[in-house]
């Protein structure tokens, strides 16, 4: 990994009831995010990595907001844990003058490593915990190796990306599941898919073929075994994208990891039994989530 030159630019500061403050930061060209710092000095910080798709630092995707990652950051800060969360490159393609064809999974890993170095080398935090949500779980477990003090997987898959997509498509249509399997094999064997089934174009459109090939190079169950740090694995039983079986499978390959299955929690970390909202009217994150994260981090 090439040495990162940190270019810091504080764009804005939001004060929040004197408990913490959010500062928008440009670490480098690709990594723009928000450092959330508690009002009391701390030596502990978390890197929060978003899930798949064009996701911003707060956990939102275009048109749909949930602010789950922002809520995580603020909840941690209220427990004297700093954090850095950042926009994914794919969220900023226009601003970066890139297309999705320019991206590789290694770009996501590089940005996460940049975030770790920013917290450790630039801001001087002594203890770094990586928190990865969904796709960010795989990114995080790779970036955390030999760099972090702890790792937390939130709704992280256990299988390779191709395995999960084949499973999801097959559940909807066995015939298209078979075609999906053939397309993935062709991509691995020939580096391209000559004729994509029109019904699978959203998955295998030409502009993302190289990205999904690079993503499929990594298997979470193998990568998590490379970590020699404390691990917490969390999943909700109402998650329709990543099941609790994935969490259990990750736990099996790392016996000393902690496993927490939260009742009624969905993929965006909200409880389907919850009615409480924040000031913007959005459901709060699962009420047991932040206490669990805090306990794990404070005991490192």
- Give yes or no for a contact between 207 and 214, defined as CB atoms under 8 angstroms apart: no
pTM of the model: 0.92
Average pLDDT of each block of 10 consecutive residues along the chain (300 residues)? 38 51 97 97 98 96 94 97 98 97 98 98 98 98 98 98 94 95 96 96 97 97 98 97 96 97 98 90 95 97
Gap between the Cα atoms of 141 and 227, Å rounded: 7
- Give yes or no for a contact between 206 and 232, defined as CB atoms under 8 angstroms apart: no
Q: DSSP letter at 118?
A: I
* Residue 109: partners with Cβ closer than 8 Å, 6 or more residues away: 139, 142, 143
Q: How deeply is 71 buried, as exposed, middle or buried, from its count of CB atoms within 10 A (0-12, 13-18, 19+)?
A: buried
pLDDT of residue 223: 98
Tokens of 218: 């990594």
Domain range 10-159+219-298, CATH architecture? 3-Layer(aba) Sandwich (3.40)
Gap between the Cα atoms of 61 and 94, Å rounded: 15
Gap between the Cα atoms of 153 and 51, Å rounded: 11
The ranges assigned to domains in the chain are 10-159+219-298, 161-217
Helix (H, G, I), strand (E, B) or coil at 11: strand
Gap between the Cα atoms of 36 and 289, Å rounded: 18
| Max CA separation in the chain (angstroms) | 58
**Sign (positive or negative) of CA dihedral 125, 233, 140, 89:** negative
């Amino acid at each position: 990994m090439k040495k990162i030159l940190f270019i810091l630019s504080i764009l804005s500061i939001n004060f929040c009831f004197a408990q913490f403050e959010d500062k928008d930061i440009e670490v480098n060209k690709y990594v723009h995010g928000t450092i959330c710092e508690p009002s009391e000095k701390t030596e502990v910080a978390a890197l929060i990595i978003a899930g798949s798709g064009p996701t911003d630092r707060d956990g939102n995707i275009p048109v749909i907001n949930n602010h789950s990652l922002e809520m995580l950051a603020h909840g941690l800060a209220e427990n004297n844990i700093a954090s850095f969360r950042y926009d994914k490159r794919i969220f900023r393609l226009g601003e970066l003058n890139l297309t999705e064809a320019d991206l590789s999974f290694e770009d996501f890993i590089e940005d996460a490593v940049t975030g770790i170095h920013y917290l450790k080398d630039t801001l001087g935090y002594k203890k770094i915990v990586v928190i990865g949500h969904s796709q960010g779980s795989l990114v995080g477990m790779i970036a955390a190796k030999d760099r972090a003090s702890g790792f937390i997987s939130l709704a992280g898959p256990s299988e390779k990306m191709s395995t999960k997509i084949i499973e999801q498509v097959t559940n909807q249509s066995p015939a298209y599941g078979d075609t999906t399997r053939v397309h993935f094999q062709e991509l691995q064997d020939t580096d391209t898919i000559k004729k994509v089934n029109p019904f699978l174009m959203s998955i295998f459109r030409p502009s993302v073929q190289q990205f999904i090939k690079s993503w499929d190079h990594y298997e979470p169950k193998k990568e998590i075994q490379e970590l020699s740090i404390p691990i917490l694995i969390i999943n909700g039983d109402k998650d329709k994208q990543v099941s609790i079986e994935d969490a259990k499978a990750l736990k099996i390959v790392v016996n000393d990891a902690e496993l927490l299955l939260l009742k009624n929690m969905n993929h965006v970390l909200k409880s389907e039994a919850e009615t409480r909202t924040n000031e913007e009217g959005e459901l709060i994150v699962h009420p047991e989530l932040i206490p669990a994260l805090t306990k794990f981090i404070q005991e490192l």
